[in-house]
């Protein structure tokens, strides 16, 4: 499978615990995005990277959330001191670099990590 992959697919944790999710984008895609999706809603933007640089963060991304993409390939999203309101599907997406360094419009989504905080 050469698409975007995410690990784990499901995570159940107790309130107050820390969790970390991983996203592997499509090979050589230079932009990587994190979204959060709650039941019955569309995905909400959290943050994105161009190569290893984190270029934008949503106000939804509180101090308990941190994302990294240290080598410009895979990315991790960590949530510290989880709260029940953090329960959601966390989606990762990537988009390609086109000729001339322009990023492609299309964002390709991974299968998501479903987080349940008890």
Cα separation, 42 vs 56, whole angstroms: 19
Q: Is 95 in the site for another protein (CB under 8 A)?
A: yes
| Closer to another protein by Cβ: residue 79 or 91 | 91
Restricting to residues 16-55, which ones interact with another protein according to CB under 8 A? 31, 33, 40-45, 48, 50, 55
Cα separation, 30 vs 75, whole angstroms: 12
Listed ranges 20-28, 69-77, 79-87, 106-114: which one lies at the site for another protein (CB under 8 A) = 106-114
| Closer to another protein by Cβ: residue 42 or 70 | 42
DSSP letters for 15-68: TT--EEEEEEPSTT--EEEEEEE-TTS--EEEEEEETTEEEEE-TTS-TTEEEE
Q: Least distance (Å) from another protein to the CB of residue 35? A: 8
Residues paired with 25 in a beta bridge: none
Cα separation, 27 vs 95, whole angstroms: 10
Q: Least distance (Å) from another protein to the CB of residue 36? A: 11
Query: What does the binding site for another protein look like in residue numbers (CB under 8 A)?
Result: 4, 31, 33, 40-45, 48, 50, 55-56, 58, 91, 95, 103, 105-112
């Amino acid at each position: 499978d050469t698409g975007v992959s995410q690990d784990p697919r499901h995570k159940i944790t107790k309130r107050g615990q820390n969790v970390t999710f991983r996203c592997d984008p499509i090979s050589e895609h230079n932009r990587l995005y994190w979204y959060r999706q709650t039941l019955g809603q569309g995905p909400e933007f959290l943050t994105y990277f161009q190569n290893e640089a984190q270029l934008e963060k949503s106000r939804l991304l509180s101090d308990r959330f941190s994302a990294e993409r240290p080598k410009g390939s895979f990315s991790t999203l960590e949530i510290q001191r989880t709260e029940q309101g953090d329960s959601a599907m966390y989606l990762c997406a990537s988009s390609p670099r086109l000729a001339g360094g322009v990023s492609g419009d299309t964002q390709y989504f991974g299968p998501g990590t479903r987080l349940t905080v008890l």
